[in-house]
Chains A and B, each alone.
Chain A
Amino acid sequence: MRILQICSEYPPQKVFGLGRYVSDLSRELATQGHEVHVLTNSLGGVGKDVLDRGVQVHRVEFPPPPMPPTPAAPLLAFNVHLQQRATSLGLEGLGNPEVVVSHDWLTAIAGARIARRLDLPHVWTVHDTVHGKRFGKLEGMEDGVSHAVELWAMREANLILVNSTAIAEEITRVHGADPVRVELLHPGIEPAACMSHQSEERLAAFRSVLAQQDELLVTFTGRLDLEKGVDTLINAFALLKSRLPKARLAIAGRGVLRPTIEEHLKKLHLEREVTLCGYLEGQVLRSFYQVSDIQVCPSHYEPFGLVALEAMAVGTPVVVSGTGGLRDIVSSTKVGRRFSPRNPGELADTLYELANSPGLRRQIGEAGRKHVLQQFAWSVLARRAASLYERQVEAKKGMAV
């Protein structure tokens, strides 16, 4: 099959993690024999058109100078630029696609327009919604524009791919999308890329920076913002600490809440017990997952929850809040533990139970690892994506006949 992906970022650029999703999916599709072209931006000139492991990447300039009056405006202009680039490349330049796939509100308009002009099916992939991110309270013009584009794309697309059951529920129940046109496609991981390949000695030395050998090391990875629920985790950790003094918490990530978190820790007299690691990525992040005894994903809102997958892929047991995509990832108590969002008491109890049973942690870690390798490897998920695209291509052909 010949596929055109349209997205707002593509590695080496990294804004929301969306770029990595599209590149992982596209590379895997190419590996499985499909022809994939990607139309994306150059973020002010970073990166050029390249052939990336079998994926042909076309880039357009974004954002266009000068700075426009509202933050949503450059995105709309960017969608126009994408359409212009598609026109100038022509059908052949785009690899004679049979299906057009766009991602989030960021490229929905360009995806729909290009598909219509080329008379192709349009698949719109939803990673999150502005309505969900703002807990149902839209603020300002930017949110209004994003939301309007999302509602429009829900009606316009031939197929809506959502990355979790929670998003499927949200867009059908809250926004009235047609359930017949909604399908689930989880994001995946590349299992081989999840391990750090550091020696035991190196991992032990790395861990010693975060906790003593006989201390329980609880970790968090993610943006320090209101969605990710670090506040719940810190309060839970304070409760845990009163019952289990030999426990440490390490927080990896950066974000607007850092000063608030520092203040909060000081108030709880936990500043020596909790390490704020800053942003970690690559080998050091993988090592971080590997040396952790329990990884917690305490999100208040989580469209998917890649962090949980990454931790599980190296055999680290996870405790997640029962929200969004985390419910799909931790689908049973065998593969991880869930607690009610914003409930530090329940989280502390769960941590305490796991803290007292290394055997249980090992068991959950191992079952979790097998679970994600079987259900969430890109090799499996790209096959599902291809068959979902294929159905649209067939349906379109059927209509033409």
Chain B
Amino acid sequence: MHIAVDCRSVHPRMGGIGRAALDLIRALGARSRGHRLTMIVAAGYVGEISVKGVHILPVEGAMIDERFDQLQLPGILEELGPDVYLNTTFSVPAVKTTKVQASIVHDVVFEDHPELVEPGLCHHLSRWSRFAAEQADHVLTVSDHARGRLEHVYGIDPARITRIYNGIAPSCFDDPDESELRRVRAKYSLPDSFILYLGTLEQKKGIVELLSAYRKAGDAGLSQPLVLAGGKGALGFDLDLQIRNAGVAGRVRASGFIEEADKKALLKSAALFVYPSLYEGFGLPPLEAMALGIPTLVSDQTSLPEIVGNAAIVTSVHDASEFSQALVRGVRDEIFRRRAATAGPARAREFNWDRSADQVLDLCERLGGN
């Protein structure tokens, strides 16, 4: 069988969806079961890329690109002739030219909280996720929470949707060495002990809630500085203004965009990793922190409690005093912190790409009829 996986989400500054697509195709290539695999990539974004066991097909289309998806992609697929087309970014072509069409819909934040998503993107995702939900042969998603929302919002027949968790790469568990830690500490001028958030800086990630809880925690004596690491996100989120409004200027540092190669050392340097996101389909960053044994705190929203299990602190982020107490506990509760060093990696290990790739192959074989 020939499976084409659309990985136009993979590019040098890719987010979680791109990371997941790249890790998935690597795992698929490593255990192809004799199936032919094609990875569709955006020619403009990816230079040289190679994945073992996988044929690379560069195309002139971007990750979110309706014209490409709907006008050019059907012809490309008709010529390529795969049995299964798997899209990793919400949509499928309206004109069907493969025996099987499947799409990964990571979440439905654009339906549940459209105010958190840039309007043009929101419209695109809503329109084509709905189309995939109604017309694709199968929909994949990445958590039970997301599956529940998809069933509820689009009325998808549960038989047409499969939850396959994202995984976490084995390399995420290896500690960075001392020189690496020193290099990253110097590069971003990191304080000795700090609380870290790593991810896009936008409304959706709960940054405003974090700042107000952090202020309260400061009032209660929490002294560690807060480092907000990541690039600017949607809707012109004004981080400086939010920091000033929360009255925490001087104790909060914005580090800017973090290179992929620096992430692990940054995580490993943190006293506490906080991921207060208001909406996630899966939530990879807390798992990456947990894999390194870093005490982690997440919001109780959407998929996050399901992903971290009982290996992290789960808190309401809308209740600033509960959130602030959780921050204080995360830094001071030594029993929790010692436990995090072992329970975190153990939990993270439950999400592995080999198993997910097997599940994807099982599904493709079932859908493709062999």
Contact = CB atoms under 8 A, between A and B. Distances in A.
Interface in B92-130: 94-97
B95 A206 contact: yes
B87 to A, nearest CB: 14
B131 A205 contact: yes
12 contacts: A201-B134, A202-B135, A203-B94, A278-B71, A280-B75, A282-B75, A283-B74, A283-B95, A283-B97, A284-B71, A284-B75, A287-B95
At the interface, is chain B mostly helix, strand, loop or mixed? helix
Interface in A272-310: 275, 277-285, 287
Q: From B66, B72, B79, B96, name the one whose CB has the most chain A CB atoms within 10 angstroms.
A: B96
B66 A209 contact: yes
B70 interface: yes
Identify the interface centre among B66, B75, B94: most chain A CB within 10 Å of its CB: B94
4 pairs of A and B residues whose beta carbons are closest in the complex: A205-B94, A206-B94, A284-B74, A209-B70
Given A198-B96, A206-B70, A278-B72, 4 more contacts: A202-B135, A277-B67, A278-B71, A285-B75
Interface string B43-81: 000000000000000000000001100111011001100
A96 interface: no
Contacts of A280: 71, 75
B67 to A, nearest CB: 7
A281 B75 contact: yes
Interface size class of chain B, counting residues whose CB lies under 8 Å from the partner chain: 10 to 19
A196 interface: yes
B71 to A, nearest CB: 5
Nearest to B134: A201
A287 to B, nearest CB: 5
A206 B131 CA distance: 11
Q: How large is the interface on A (under 10, 10 to 19, 20 to 34, 35 or more residues)?
A: 20 to 34
Nearest to B97: A283
Contacts of B79: 282
A279 B79 CA distance: 13
Contact of B97 (A201, A277, A284): A284
A199 B101 CA distance: 14
Contacts of B97: 282-284
A196 B79 CA distance: 15
Contacts of A198: 94-96
Interface centre among A206, A275, A285 (most CB of B within 10 A): A206
B85 to A, nearest CB: 13
Contacts of A206: 70, 94-95
A202 B96 contact: yes
A209 B67 contact: yes
Contacts of A283: 74-75, 78, 95-97
Nearest to A197: B96
A383 to B, nearest CB: 31
A287 B93 CA distance: 12
A209 B95 CA distance: 11
Majority DSSP secondary structure for residues of A touching B: helix
Interface in B141-171: none
Nearest to A203: B94
A277 B96 CA distance: 17
Contact of A275 (B67, B95, B96, B134): B67
Contacts of A284: 71, 74-75, 78, 95, 97
Contacts of A287: 74, 94-95
Contacts of A279: 75
Given A196-B95, A209-B66, A277 B71 contact: yes
A209 B94 contact: yes
Contacts of B71: 209, 277-278, 280, 284
A206 B135 CA distance: 12
B138 to A, nearest CB: 16
B67 A202 contact: no
A131 B137 CA distance: 52
A282 B72 contact: no
A281 to B, nearest CB: 5
A282 B72 CA distance: 11
A209 B75 CA distance: 16
A217 to B, nearest CB: 14
Interface in B214-246: none
B80 to A, nearest CB: 12
A196 B96 CA distance: 10
A206 B91 CA distance: 13
A46 B84 CA distance: 27
Given A209-B71, A275-B67, A278-B71, A202 B78 contact: no
Q: Among A209, A282, A284, A285, which residue has the most Cβ atoms of chain B within 10 A?
A: A284
A202 B74 contact: no
A182 B67 CA distance: 46
A282 to B, nearest CB: 5
Contacts of B67: 209, 275, 277
Given A205-B131, A209-B67, A275-B67, A282 B94 contact: no
Contacts of A277: 67, 71
A277 B74 CA distance: 12
Contacts of B134: 201
Given A201-B135, A202-B96, A282 B66 contact: no
Nearest to A209: B70
Contacts of A275: 67
B219 to A, nearest CB: 53
A205 B135 contact: yes
A282 B95 CA distance: 10
Contacts of A205: 94, 131, 135
Nearest to A252: B71
Interface in A176-213: 196, 198-199, 201-203, 205-206, 209
Contacts of A199: 135
A210 to B, nearest CB: 9
A202 B79 CA distance: 20
B276 to A, nearest CB: 37
B148 to A, nearest CB: 25
Nearest to B73: A284
B75 to A, nearest CB: 5
A284 B74 CA distance: 6
Nearest to A196: B95
